[in-house]
Structure 1
Amino acid sequence: MSGEDDLEEVEDDFAPEGPGPSPDPGSEREPASFVEYGIDDKPPLGESVLLGVQHYLTMIGANIAIPLVLAGAMGMPAGATARLIGTFFVVSGIATLAQTTVGNRYPIVQGGTFSMLAPALAIVGVLQTSGAGWETMILQLQGAVIVAGVAEVLIGYFGVMGWLKRHMGPIVIAPVIALIGLSLFNVPQITAPDQNWWLAGLTVALIVLFSQYLKTSHRAFRLFPVLLGLVTAWLLAAGLSVAGVYSPGTAGYVDFSQVFEAQLFVPIYPFQWGTPMFRGSFVIGMFAGMLASVIESFGDYHSVARMAGRGAPSARRIDHGIGMEGLGNLFAGIMGTGNGSTSYTENVGAIGITGVASRYVVQIGAIVAIVVGYVGFVGQLFATIPTPIVGGLFVAMFGQIAAVGLSQLKYVDLDENRNIFIVGLALFAGLAIPNYVSAVGSAGAFQTGLANVAVVGPVLGSEFVAQTLYVIGGTGMAVGGIVAFFLDNTVPGSREERGLTAWEDITEDDSEFRSFWDRHVSDADAEERAPGAD
């Protein structure tokens, strides 16, 4: 990787270029014919803006759903809720720019995380019993997120995940990535009782039509299948709403009144809600959510590398990515989202469907997110996208992610029963255990149940252990990853059978990833050695 490959160092990375070969040596170990734009490619500016908006639209469901859930639980008034949604977008955009420039430099969007939503709701529930208002709740959430972010920074930059990677092969990574997609099959946008399956199915059909059947007919179908499918379904739903076919309150109804009532400018700034509060038990719960988020991001890094036709990420790149996500969590806490920041699975799925893995495009999308956060009516316009359309979008993308995870098994000897057994058990546990945890109900009920376990009840029933098990046990990719990691490293099997030998061959060397600081120092040294330098 040359010194010029530095973002290109913040200024040059936003200059449009055509697609070209990747400058990273050895980065094309796994050529992917479907990749239209590689990680280091820069499409023309106009095209990049549309591609960036497309990336942004894939994440809009979660980036609106999480703050709405939090605001509803806390009892936030409408004005504060609108600001909370805007804060999520601003944090997402800035965290994405930081990750793609200073972090692992993968084309992966950062945003709110469902892994930290569960402990956040548990914290809100505890505060509600004491009669606290939403102002106190958001400050307590801020404090817990800040501490969790600091812990994740230490985990990342002290190399904990990089060290663990040396003991993880495709048998571990495959179920983790697959469960990222499969664990989202029951999100409300898909399984709502009043689901408009006609509209959701149309969205899926359009994305399939553009991305699979018509992709050779015109370049636009190949590059913008998600954007074309989503906008077409959205406009149709809007027309049916205006015509009175869809009435207010029904799935598929598009309400533009909120757009006209939105603020022109939404004030978003650090500590906008006040000074964060810190409470030990709340920090513990958020810490558990952060750990689950780390495992999910670990899988996302491998997934995006696979989709982009790159070798598996090195331990050094993973450490820098997790460390930067920790800084993103810290920033989210300071800005007051009440939630953390993590890699977005939706964005990874979009890469697989469109073949656009350009870092530059994702950075354009990040700028769009920041604008949306501060300009109230733009965010409200995108918020009018009906949930059935978002659900159809999820069906297309999450299935792609699950398949990418299973494709990692091509490096494994599938004629060996131990490998089949481990993968199968990990996948089933990753689906079944979170379903059980969800059925138990609240974190308090889970803790009570553990406290009644014979002999070890006092330990399992402690607040720290119970909340950690509750959050991690409710996260499919965490459960599957832990099961696969333990079995793959304890059940006898050769490195060849486990796919570790082939895995090492396609994993980039640590030297192939140069951090922002490394590149800065290298460029400074080169300038000093240049002829005529003082």
Structure 2
Amino acid sequence: MGQAESDTDADSRGASDFVEYGVEDRPPLGTAALLGVQHYLTMVGANIAVPLILAGALGMPSEVIPRFVGTFFVVSGVATLAQTTFGNRYPIVQGAPFSMLASALAVVGVVTASNPAGPDWQAALLQLQGAIVVAALVEVLVGYFGLFGRLRGFVSPVVIAPTIALIGLSLFSTPQVTAATNNWPLLLLTVLLVVLFSQYLDTRSRAARLFPVLLGVVGAYLVAVALSLSGVYAPGSPGYVDVFSVFDAPLFVAIYPLQWGVAGGANTVSVALPLVGDVLFGVPQVTTPFVVGMLAGVAASMVESFGDYHAVARLSGMGAPSEKRIDHGIGMEGAMNVFAGLMGAGGSTSYSENIGAIGITGVASRYVVQVGAAIMLVVGFVGWFGQLVATVPDPIVGGLFVAMFGQIVAVGLSQLEYVDLDSSRNTFVVGFALFAGLAIPAYMGNVGDAATFRQGMAGVWLLGPVLGSKLVADVVFVIGSTGMAVGGLCAFVLDNTIAGTRAERGLDEWEASAEENEEFVSFYDRVVRGRDDGSGSSGSRAD
């Protein structure tokens, strides 16, 4: 069985030697700004991919896409500030969720298919907005009524280990990494630069230690730009950078709640504002089947975030999160999903990429993440920025994934230090959960989409009418497509039904090093009740 710290005091669970800046540390503003931008660089691929995928499914005009992308960055900035200040107060970036993307695409697909001529893309987006807002309200209730945090008493390291590991493993097959037409030299250059700065030069240069991702991405991007301008990379080829497209985008884009109004549409309100003139506000539409389908995506997002919280706590040198911290995190994610729905974005959730950045850089400062979020909030209104980010080639994004997501897998497996690995019971649960978490999503991917899966389930003997219903089939499809949800649920069921002692499952040692509810001081506790969160005594560094 792995060894755990014997001292259960909160002070004994401070940041490890690996952590360069702990959760409460506040680097100088200039350093924090660069570190914050670096945190956001790690999630650029996903935060760009989700709006681009949705824009394609909606049939959104190309001239609107920079504004759509900017909306996602504005939502990310606001959600991150809210989570780090009022929510779980972990140094974790919030961004567009892949876990809700399948549900979103299903909503858009059904709306589009219901009208052979095809509804206006804004009308379809209003339906998506309504589904996200109502489903997110359920997430708010689950979080702030303490329903999700109560699961913690039934969750051991045997469950958490495969759940976190699958967060990293789930992205091994992304097109940015495995596409047959990938630009492997550029991808490998990105990996080599990140590894060089983070692993070989980190002891020789403070800049290399703090900014390995930023240096690696910028270096690879400049090489790609040079090769594109010189004609080595042809337009349309992997790695090509169309730098001149940046100047074709508008300098400023207007982003505001309910912004996707349809000119002359029945669900649009026109309001005359001083200095602005007439502004269209689109009213989100609520359709029950779409809400139910989106609830499956929200459920998968909550399971993913549950694993993310444990991973970021582990990398930040903190104890496992308490029920109270988990509940505040899930509740705030729900509130920010409501905000994302009103803004016309595809939702918001904790970002695994950001956790991988902590593993590479050792920068776990909440202040750094907040500064980065403020920067993203501002630049989200700059059309040039959205287009510039969109020019980052997929091979560079893939290189980032290769360099960072192995860190998350390792963090997940490190939870097993508390577990008796000589127990065949434990090795069976972990192995089964990992295999199922990879195999079932792969099967769902081969099936195709939710509609195809629904048709197949309808043909099941005797239970077909139930399993083939839209409610059941869509929920199963969305959760089954999310590796960490599948693996986590399998491990949860097996670990709580197969006989095993608390010591064998690692619960005794794990809980001894975990955070107590009293140790988490929420925003309400600090402001209304005047409780001290202890940050003033943490010895925050500014060097």
Match of 2:135 in 1: 148
Structure 2 CA distance, aligned partners of 1:250 and 1:213?
32
Match of 1:523 in 2: 530
Which residue identity does 1:161 align to in structure 2?
A: F
In the alignment, which of 502, 505, 513 is matched to residue 498 of structure 1?
505
Residue deviations 1:410-456, cap 9 Å, x none?
A: 11000000000000000000000011111111111111111111122
1:255 counterpart = 2:242: yes
Matches within 5 A, 1:23-422: 26=10, 28-29=12-13, 31-129=15-113, 130=115, 131-273=118-260, 274-337=282-345, 339-422=346-429
User: Residue 96 of structure 1: SS of its match in structure 2?
Assistant: helix
Is contact 2:202-2:209 (8 Å) kept? yes
Structure 2 CA distance, aligned partners of 1:254 and 1:523?
52
TM-superposed CA distance for 1:191, in Å, is 1.6
In the alignment, which of 471, 496, 499 is matched to residue 464 of structure 1?
471
Is contact 2:15-2:22 (8 Å) kept? no
Residue deviations 1:133-178, cap 9 Å, x none?
A: 2111100100000011101001100111110011001000000000
Which residue identity does 2:133 align to in structure 1?
A: I
TM-superposed CA distance for 1:380, in Å, is 1.7
Residue deviations 1:82-122, cap 9 Å, x none?
A: 11101000000000000000000000000100011001111
Structure 2 CA distance, aligned partners of 1:256 and 1:31?
41
TM-superposed CA distance for 1:487, in Å, is 0.3
Structure 2 CA distance, aligned partners of 1:369 and 1:180?
24
Which residue identity does 1:137 align to in structure 2?
A: A
Residue deviations 1:14-56, cap 9 Å, x none?
A: xxxxxxxxxx970542652110000000001111111011011
Match of 1:427 in 2: 434
Is contact 2:135-2:294 (8 Å) kept? yes
Structure 1 CA distance, aligned partners of 2:92 and 2:160?
18
Residue deviations 1:275-331, cap 9 Å, x none?
A: 101111111111000000000000000000000000000010000000000001000
Structure 2 CA distance, aligned partners of 1:369 and 1:27?
34
Q: Flag structure 2 segments of 5+ consecutive residues without an equivalent.
A: 1-7, 261-281, 533-543
Structure 2 CA distance, aligned partners of 1:25 and 1:108?
24
Structure 1 CA distance, aligned partners of 2:14 and 2:89?
19
Structure 2 CA distance, aligned partners of 1:27 and 1:489?
32
Which residue identity does 2:167 align to in structure 1?
A: I
Structure 1 CA distance, aligned partners of 2:311 and 2:14?
13
TM-superposed CA distance for 1:192, in Å, is 1.9
Query: Kindly, what percent of the aligned residue pairs are identical?
Result: 65
User: Residue 380 of structure 2: SS of its match in structure 1?
Assistant: helix
Structure 1 CA distance, aligned partners of 2:354 and 2:156?
24
Q: Flag structure 1 segments of 5+ consecutive residues without an equivalent.
A: 1-23, 526-534
Is contact 1:143-1:278 (8 Å) kept? yes
Is contact 1:189-1:387 (8 Å) kept? yes
Q: Which is worse superposed, 253-262 or 321-330?
A: 253-262
Q: Which is worse superposed, 81-90 or 126-135?
A: 126-135
Structure 2 CA distance, aligned partners of 1:208 and 1:28?
31
Match of 1:480 in 2: 487
Match of 2:275 in 1: none
Which residue identity does 2:82 align to in structure 1?
A: A
User: Residue 374 of structure 2: SS of its match in structure 1?
Assistant: helix
Residue deviations 1:59-80, cap 9 Å, x none?
A: 1111110000000111000122
Structure 2 CA distance, aligned partners of 1:218 and 1:444?
54
Matches within 5 A, 1:507-522: 507-522=514-529
Q: Number of aligned pairs?
A: 501
Flag as ranges the 4+ runs of structure 1 deviating above 3 A: none
Is contact 2:198-2:208 (8 Å) kept? yes
Which residue identity does 1:282 align to in structure 2?
A: F
TM-score, normalization by structure 1 = 0.92
Match of 2:536 in 1: none
